[in-house]
Amino acid sequence: MSSLFLWGKRGACLLALLMLAPPARPIISDPAKPRFLEEKAGIASKGTPEQRILSAIDHIRNGNLADARATVDALLKEQPNYRLAYLLSGDLYAMRAMPLNTMGAGAGSTAAAERIADLRKEALARISSRMTQAPQTRLPAHLLVFAPQQQYAILVDAEASRIYVFKNVDGVPTYVTDHYATIGKLGSDKFREGDQRTPLGVYFVNGHLSRPYLDKTRGAQADLYGVGAWPISFPNEIDKSEGRTGSGIWLHGVPANTYARAPWASNGCVAMSNEEMLDIAQYIQVGQTPVVIVPKAEWVTKVEWQSRRDAALSLVDGWREEWESLKTQPYLNRYAKQFKSDDGQDLARWSSQKISVSAGKSWSKIRLDNLSIYASGGPNPRLTTSFKQDYRSNNLDNQMNKRQYWQQEDGIWKIIFEGAAA
């Protein structure tokens, strides 16, 4: 029977086959001959739906078709809308009659080629995630400083189609869980309304749209969001200053007749299976939980993470100390050439105003509370700092929630945007 398991036996080529091999029509065997040998009863693997789909793929790769069949059947009984499981089920039946050279070759319909390709991509994303154990052994370089009230943070790896939850344990991001997720049809780095891309950057969950509310306000369209939606703060302050447009970027579930969508299939939102969206939801604090969306997650040792955290804290405290000590020029040197304030001032106007204000000060005291620092990735990495600023001087007392965005200029971290936090 080993000839029936070609796509399973070629484990080293599996990832390439998932992405590149075209679907093929099954060849009908001679009806006068037995079509397949009777399959013994298998043992179904246990675990989450994702663990079981990966277990079924492992069984096929190892030639254990009976266990693969039992696992897929049990999974479909529990999740009757799991399309990837149906694809494997079709392959398992086809393998009884002929060898298959790739996942989905048993489907036999060229009209379904695009959907089969999407399912291959989903399988690839799930397999690739299992091969990367970094979240359990290393720390995310993007989650540097939690504000005390922020119990959890969410990290979205756009390239891996993966969403992670980390808990604030004495300031250290500690892994809680992760799930497969769908992002925009055209990928990430959203720039304008309707471009079907998922934004990159640091955002905050700023609402919860329950399913009953969506049913009332969206009618039949409510089913698109499954169990509900959790809007995030796109466009944020820096997005607006760069002319980025759009709205309605949410974390949400999927329609009732779908277990999971393809890795790139939304209009820009981050979507998960309904079961997994509810799992993520229990860690969300509306108005507090950061959602950091990066092109590719970076995992570092705790020593490296601590070094980056200390450096980020030093940046912010250096800025605060120079401002408080009325060291006007060193303070202004902290701002980038392309700096913009929330009221539209460029660096020249900002500097002129600050010099004038500083001239009237004899002393000042500045305290920063509820400080958080998160790092986005990509070709132009940024630091997003948020805090409650308590400013006191000889002629002014002021408290405000402030946000800064830092970016490297000639290898030095500088502030490119500063203003009131939305």
Tell me, letter by letter, the H, E, C secondary structure of 264-288. EEECCCEECCHHHHHHHHCCCCCCC
Residues facing residue 368 across a β-bridge: 389
Q: State the span(s) of the chain assigned CATH 3.10.450.50.
A: 301-420
Q: For residue 66, what are its two tokens?
A: 């009976």
CATH number at 134-299:
2.40.440.10
Give the CA distances from residue 248 to residues 224, 226, 391, 414, in Å, rounded to whole numbers and listed in that order: 13, 15, 35, 31
Q: How far apart are CA 44 and CA 55, in angstroms?
A: 9
Judge contact between 284 and 198, C-beta under 8 A: no
CATH 2.40.440.10 spans which residues of the chain? Answer: 134-299
- Each residue's pLDDT expressed in tens, for the chain with a length of 422 residues: 333 334 544 433 444 434 333 333 332 233 344 444 455 789 999 999 999 999 999 999 898 999 999 999 999 999 999 999 999 998 888 887 777 777 776 665 555 788 889 999 999 999 998 888 788 889 999 999 999 999 999 999 999 999 999 999 999 999 999 999 999 999 999 999 999 999 999 999 999 999 999 999 999 999 999 999 999 999 999 999 999 999 999 999 999 999 999 999 999 999 999 999 999 999 999 999 999 999 999 999 999 999 999 999 999 999 999 999 999 999 999 999 999 999 999 999 999 999 999 999 999 999 999 999 999 987 789 999 999 999 999 999 999 999 999 999 999 999 999 999 97
Read off φ and ψ for residue 289, nearest 5 degrees: -70, 120
Give the catalytic positions in this structure.
252, 269
C-alpha span between 364 and 12 (Å, rounded) = 65
Q: What is the DSSP letter of 371?
A: E
pLDDT of residue 380: 84
285-304 burial by CB neighbour count: b if 16+ within 10 A, else e? eeebbbbbbbbebbbbeeee
Beta strands in 61-193 (DSSP E): 139-140, 143-145, 152-157, 162-169, 172-180, 183-184
- Per the structure block, which two tokens stand in for 409? 């200029």
Q: Are strands 364-376 and 382-393 parallel, antiparallel or unpaired?
A: antiparallel
278, with CB counted inside 10 A (0-12, 13-18, 19+), is: middle
3-state DSSP percent of the chain in helix, strand and coil, to 5: 35, 25, 35
Q: What pLDDT shows up at residue 10? A: 40
- What is the CATH class of 301-420? alpha beta
Neighbouring residues of 39: CB distance < 8 A, sequence distance ≥ 6: 65, 66, 69, 96
The one-letter amino acid at 125: A
